[in-house]
């Protein structure tokens, strides 16, 4: 069975976007060579990326551009080449390369995707998707990059989760830019 992971940035006070929906604060500290090597290595995975509509449109508006290729050619190349799944009830087409648009029953579709053969799946951003799949018990791992910034307000990844979810730490790594990657899996 394929594993479904979340990879997301969080502020120190627990938000993945600020109050206006902006996530640019998560990309500071890119002058850290170790961090840049980690990002490039992370982009080498072969499994599909999963998005909600908002994150998909943000990513599709950046990664295929010449600016993205100039800023980070390795990651831009991988983001454009990797298979992508986007869940939306309002999007009618998904033009970014290698994208499959799904809109019906997200929980059933994710159960089916997880049971299909293939590489593991990673959700980027997409707080509404993360929240719904957490509530349904479908996420196998949370990879959270805690950034050294306090936003004061914003959105949490778990804003619609109504049940307690006990997690065990599966790994951690700190970087010179002050960010800390912490990985968790649900307790069986």
- Distance (Å) of CA 21 to CA 99, 111, 146: 23, 29, 17
3-state secondary structure of 149: coil
As a whole number, the mean pLDDT across the chain is 91
Give the tens place of pLDDT for each residue, 141-170.
999 999 999 999 999 999 899 999 999 999
Q: Per-domain residue ranges for the chain?
A: 4-186
User: What is the reported pTM?
Assistant: 0.91
Distance of CA 185 to the CA centre of its chain: 15
Helices 127-135 and 106-115 sit at what angle, rounded to 10 degrees?
80
DSSP line for 70-136: HH-HHHHHHHHHS-EEEE-SS-----STTEEEE-S-HHHHHHHHHHSSSS-EEEES-HHHHHHHHHT
Mean pLDDT along residues 114-134: 93
Name the band, by pLDDT with cuts 50, 70 and 90, for residue 8: very high
Question: Quick check: 134 pLDDT over 90?
Answer: yes
Strand segments, DSSP code E, in the chain are 4-11, 17-18, 49-52, 84-87, 99-102, 121-124, 141-147, 154-155, 167-174, 180-186
The strand pairing partners of 185, in sequence order, are 168
Name the band, by pLDDT with cuts 50, 70 and 90, for residue 38: confident
Q: What is the CATH number of domain 4-186?
A: 3.40.430.10
Quote the pLDDT of residue 24: 85
């Amino acid at each position: 069975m394929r594993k479904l992971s979340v990879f997301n940035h969080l502020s120190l006070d627990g938000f993945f976007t600020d109050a206006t929906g902006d996530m640019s604060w998560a990309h500071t500290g890119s002058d850290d060579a170790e961090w840049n090597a980690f990002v490039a290595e992370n982009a080498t995975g072969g499994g599909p990326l999963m998005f909600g509509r908002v994150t998909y449109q943000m990513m599709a508006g950046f990664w295929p551009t010449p600016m993205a290729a100039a800023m980070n050619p390795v990651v831009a190349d991988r983001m454009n080449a990797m298979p992508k799944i986007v869940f939306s009830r309002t999007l009618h087409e998904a033009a970014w390369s290698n994208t499959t648009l799904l809109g019906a029953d997200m929980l059933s579709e994710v159960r089916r995707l997880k049971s299909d053969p293939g590489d593991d799946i990673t959700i980027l951003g997409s707080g509404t998707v993360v929240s719904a799949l957490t509530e349904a018990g479908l996420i196998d791992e949370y990879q959270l990059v805690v950034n050294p910034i306090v936003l004061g307000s914003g959105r949490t990844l778990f804003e619609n989760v109504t049940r307690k979810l006990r997690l065990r730490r599966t790994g951690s790594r700190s970087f010179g830019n002050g960010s800390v990657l912490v990985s968790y899996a649900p307790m069986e």
